[in-house]
Structure 1
Amino acid sequence: MEKRWVLSPEAPAEVVKQLSEELKISATLASILCQRGICTFNEAKHFFRPSLQDLHDPFLMKDMGRAVNRLNDALHGNEKILVYGDYDVDGTTSVALMYGFLRHYTSNIDFYIPDRYKEGYGVSSQGIEWAAEHGFTLIISLDCGIKSADKVALASEKGIDFIICDHHLPDEDIPQAVAVLDPKQLDCPYPYKELSGCGVGFKLLQAFCIQNDIDQEEVYKLLDLLVVSIAADIVPITGENRILAYYGLQHLNGPQPMRPGLDALKELADIRGEMDITSIVFGFAPRINAAGRMGDAKNSVRMLLAQTKEDAFKMADIINESNKARRDKDSNITKEALQMIAQDDFLRSANSTVLFKENWHKGVIGIVASRCIEHYYRPTIILTQSNGKASGSARSVHGFNVHDAIESCSDLLEQFGGHMYAAGLTLPVENVPAFRKRFEEVVASTITADQKIPQIEIDAPLKLNQITRNFYNIVRQMEPFGPGNMRPVFVSECVYDTGSVRIVGDSHLKLRLTQDGFYNIDAIGFGLGDYYKAISKGIPFDVCYTIEENIYRGVITLQLRIKDIRIK
């Protein structure tokens, strides 16, 4: 698939020069820092040396004082507290964080995760009824609740108070809870707006510790859970999230034993060496999510809270089996979806993809939508039948607002929600053909030519001889990488293979590159085997890539991980 290479705008030369001199780094690295908003020595100091002392005062968050006071009242009054969270990674890590901490202060506590299929996303009526039946008088909701004004009102009628810890955009109708903790509220003065749901729960516990003279180290012990939520929920790893992720990874990779549940996951995911954001995203997150997609999300919480290796592995095995079932469903439905597109003249040439089949598994259709975009790069909606309705997940391409496009078809829908790149929707089954037609019309009239081509964002041009161990060590200090601080991508022009190019595996390229007749460096390009014939002829080409370490038989060398190739 053709890709657009988009070079980041150059930072002001004078700023780059000064930063380069002050930090004693190359102009290329100084320019990359400036592109990321790090333009002064002091900003660079905070960036390269994250400190827990730089975390914001949790009491800056609107309603934080009220939340801590209500929690204290519940603990002192021995009230029954219910920790309520969503069924995804952010929700389950949030519940494990809050419940795991508060159970040291009360035995009158339990947790609740709604059933994805029977109750749906967020706070449910069933959950409120269950809490009332079991005598709970305080619910702490995590990663949900900001859009649940009606459910909070129902709880209030039943004598149950709510503390909401959420990070999603609020509606105009803010729930009438005892406290609503969400930095995205327009009148919330909290300086950092991009916390995960688990991050908001962490700030509540941080405030609880401050007010009750509890050592902050007690809440810092939970940073391993928090970094999992930050990585899995794809929130920006900037500002406060960067500090929390940095120390969370230190916790995972430190000398102290890893939390038994995460240790079990690491072993089952066959993750070797140090954990990073990528290994969490691809190793931990799918398995934790699979519990809610294919079975009971409470199993994820039980695994995260396990005190012994035996208990942790018992739950992790269940979750791993759920993940295997999820992969099978995902693979089979993706094949079926791609066949449907390939066999339909209209779908092959359309600007969007809308597919419906009544027996597809609801838990994987979002994943299938993303898989389809890898083959047909365009806004995609996958629908299945659930409770007599067509229910689906939408995914988008870079720069295109799929939520707005769905909103243009709202008269055909019963409900929808989401954001620019991902959304969910429900509609009558009989409306699917009309929706498909309307959605295609909306996309066709609004999507640009560039948005139909996947893009690779390139940070800077680089000569191969600039890639030294010292250069790479500074790049590594920019970790943890993730949204808002992605691993730097470089482009080198007019390079050649030294004659060692070969295909490894099914379709991967292994090369040794040279430029200007000197300096050779190893490179690998996953899935780029189609370029073998041209490269083996000695034709020059341009390459964009990231830099990484390769460990082979105990020897560590630098290599390029190629993202794309352009033959001259």
Structure 2
Amino acid sequence: MAKDLVEQIVHEFGIDSRLAKLLVERGVTTFELAQLTFNPNYESIPGPESIPNMRPALERLLSAIGRKEPILVWGHEDADGSTSVAVMMKTIRKLGGVAGYFIPSKAKEGHTLHYGRLKEAVEKGYKLVVTVDSGTSSVFDAVEYQKELGIEIIITDHHELPHGRELPEEIILVNPKLPGSGSFPYLAGVGVAFKVAWGLFRYKLGWNQLDIEREMPELLVYVLIGTIADRVPLWNENLALVMKGRQAFERISRPFIRAYERLMKTRPSLETMISIVSAGKTKEWRNSGVELLIADDDADAEDILKELMSEIENWTKTSEKLLNHALQKLGRVRRYILLDMGDVEPRYLGFLSSRLKEKFKVPTIVLGRKNNGVVVAEVRTPYGFNSLDLLNSVSHLFIDYGGHKMASGFSMEESALPELAEEVELYFKKYGDVPEEAPPADIVIKGNSPNERKLIHDVERLGRVGFEIKLLFDGVPIGKIRELLRERLINDPEGLLDLYSSNVRVKMLITSTPDGFKPEFIEPIENTLSVPSTET
């Protein structure tokens, strides 16, 4: 099947077979997704039921909406999670259903389904829970919670599937990473929520995605905010959704937009909206980011926005202070960073881990504490390193864990910290680390292939639509690399392509991006004359 699809892509789009194979390996599992890669438009995105288990999820939700059965939307405390909740809340209420929401506080309840809060939900009258941007890592717990509490749980999520275990049949799990999915596997949580919403509108009102754009464009703005904030790969469905979301963002007027315009005397940028929504934190059964997005009253939206702007100011000051403290605590950085920041709140850990990873280019684990003393951590890794492989190897130490290959998290008891430090050290001794030489490449070019120009053309073509490809020129004279890239769009702020004379053979990593070919690494081959370029 995969081989046939590769051949079909080569025949239809005329690209190098190595690139077609790369597309399939990265999740282009249908010809429909291949078409969307080369022509990312909103009208062509696969329908809701391209995601496995969507139909039973829609049937159960529609039944609850029709009977006015209260539905609890369970989210995740970040911008992707908040926008996902907003999509579901707006959709269910638009269809006449009854809905509330809950987002666990990272500082108190962590990332996953929380038994105590689910019990509270039952006491509030909820019998049906639908998760957004969360729940995959709790799928086995969810089976037990259903039995003990007498509730139904539908999980809609985009996080990685549990490692090495067969998924339970008792839970409806809607996730584009499931085997047999015809949807883009790298959708953000809000992208999955949008597809659920689309399915509900289609069955209840007969709407397609164009009707949603016309009648409820704010849903596309939520998708835009959550997708960009979650840093998922921006190609295929994600690119199509983001482009349409940008169009909607430029023209809509909703209370959350008007509130900013009144307070700041200008229209908010996308980056500003991401910061504002990200600042929303959970206090009991309320999250200010969600409340802002779903507010129907301008005055209410303005009050919430003031609260969030104050939170942003305080967070920025504290996070920069904590980063300086973290840098002071670090000794010599080698293959990885494992840093315990003591009682630092969980909401700062992702920022700290990301900044340290960016600075030192190594896998980074930053630990903090919940209010109850439980240790929580955020993990960030460079390209080419799978953080979940590391976490799977030490999962016996965790209360819970999950996430993505390059961004994940976990919680654990403090008593297990010494063992964690030992296990992490053993892991890196056994499996190594992120290469100190050239980062992993998708395609290696030795400089002796007759099809190099065609390959470069095809790589540039895919780069323009967001499909980034890492090319490693291995032992190729830099003059030939420059010649191959002549008349191509180049993004080389560090001037790496001009670093050596034409005859110098180099190992050079170049990534294709929407902004052109971006050189990221260069190293002269030892047996060549490595003199700086004097060419003009």
Normalized against structure 1, the TM-score is what? Answer: 0.69
**In structure 1, what is the Cα distance between the partners aligned to 2:49 and 2:139?**
24
Q: What RMSD, in angstroms, separates the aligned Cα atoms of the two structures? A: 5.0
Structure 2 Cα separation of the partners of residues 145 and 109 of structure 1: 18
AA at the equivalent of 2:315: R
Residues 110 and 399 (structure 1 numbering): CA distance in 2 closer, same or farther, change over 3 Å? same
Q: 1 CA distance for matches of 2:437 and 2:315?
A: 29
Q: 1:565 to 1:212 in 2, by over 3 A?
A: same
Does residue 362 of the first structure (1) align with residue 346 of the second (2)? yes
In structure 2, do the counterparts of structure 1 residues 269 and 198 end up closer, same or farther at CA, with 3 Å as the change threshold? farther
Partner of residue 313, structure 2: 324
Q: What is the match of residue 361 of structure 2?
A: 377
For residues 181-223 of structure 1, the C-alpha deviation after alignment (integer angstroms, 9 at most, x for no partner) is 223333x554433332222222222222222343324433322
Q: List aligned pairs for 1:166-315, cutoff 5 A.
A: 166-171=157-162, 172=165, 174=167, 179-186=172-179, 188-216=180-208, 217-220=210-213, 221=217, 222-253=219-250, 256-261=251-256, 280=270, 282-292=271-281, 298-315=287-304
Find the counterpart in structure 2 of residue 464 from structure 1. Answer: none
Q: Distance in 2 between matches of 1:145 and 1:204?
A: 15
CA change 1:459–1:313 in 2 (3 A) is farther
Query: Where do 5+ consecutive residues of structure 2 fail to align?
Result: 1-6, 446-458, 524-531
Partner Cα distance (2:259, 2:471) in 1: 33
Give 3-state SS (helix, strand or coil) of 1:212's partner: helix
C-alpha separation between the residues in 1 aligned to 2:51 and 2:491?
47
Counterpart position of 1:101: 91
- The separation in 1 between residues aligned to 2:490 and 2:56, in whole angstroms, is 58
Relative to structure 1, the CA distance from residue 380 to residue 67 in structure 2 (aligned partners, 3 Å threshold; closer, same or farther) is: closer
Gaps of 5+ in 1: 1-11, 21-26, 461-473, 496-513, 550-558
Q: What's the counterpart of residue 77 of structure 2?
A: 87
Partners in 2 of 1:336 and 1:294 — Cα distance? 28
Flag the 1:286–1:60 CA change in 2: closer, same or farther, 3 A: same
269 and 64 in structure 1: CA distance in 2 versus 1, 3 angstrom threshold? farther
| CA gap 1:449/1:69 in 2 versus in 1, 3 angstroms | closer
1:426 paired to 2:411: yes
Deviation at 1:232, TM superposition (A): 2.0
1:137 match? 127
Corresponding residue SS for 1:291: coil
Task: Specify the code of the residue in structure 2 equivalent to 1:287.
Answer: I
Q: Which has the higher strand share?
A: 1
Question: Residues 211 and 296 of structure 1: is their aligned pair in 2 closer, same or farther, counting only changes over 3 Å?
Answer: closer
Aligned-residue sequence identity (percent) comes to 24
Distance (whole Å) between structure 2 residues aligned to residue 308 and residue 126 of structure 1: 32
Is the contact made by 2:374 and 2:413 (CA closer than 8 Å) also made in structure 1? Answer: yes
Per-residue deviation, residues 448-484 of structure 1 (Å, max 9, x unmatched): 5725776899999xxxxxxxxxxxxx98997674xxx
In structure 2, the CA distance between the partners of 1:118 and 1:173, relative to structure 1 (3 Å rule), is: farther
Normalising by structure 2, what TM-score? 0.72
Which one is further off, 237-246 or 172-181?
Answer: 172-181
Which residue of 2 is the match for residue 164 of structure 1?
A: 155
What CA distance in whole angstroms lies between the structure 1 residues aligned with 2:509 and 2:52? 49
Shift of 1:142: 1.2
Cα distance in 2, alignment partners of residues 161 and 44 from structure 1: 36
1:274-294 CA-partner distances (Å, limit 9, x unpaired): x7xxxx5x5443432232389
C-alpha distance in 1 between matches for 2:398 and 2:172: 33
Cα distance between partner residues in 2 of 1:548 and 1:202? 25
SS in 2 for 1:215: coil
Post-superposition offset of 1:99: 0.7
Find the aligned partners of 2:398 and 2:59 in 1 and give their Cα distance.
42
SS of aligned partner of 1:405: helix
Cα distance change of structure 1 residues 290 and 447 upon mapping to structure 2, 3 Å threshold: farther
Whether contact under 8 Å (1:67, 1:178) holds in the other structure is no
Change in 2 beyond 3 A, CA 1:130/1:284: same
- What is the total number of aligned residue pairs between the two structures? 489
CA, structure 1 residues 423+202, in 2 after alignment: closer, same or farther (shift >3 Å)?
A: closer
Conserved? CA contact 2:92–2:98, under 8 Å? no
Change beyond 3 A, Cα 1:19–1:173: closer
Aligned counterparts of 1:104 and 1:449: Cα–Cα separation in 2: 48
2-structure distance, mates of 1:271, 1:32: 44
**Equivalences for 1:401-440 in 2 at 5 Å?**
401-410=386-395, 412-440=397-425
- Gap change, CA 1:430 and 1:565, over 3 Å in 2: same
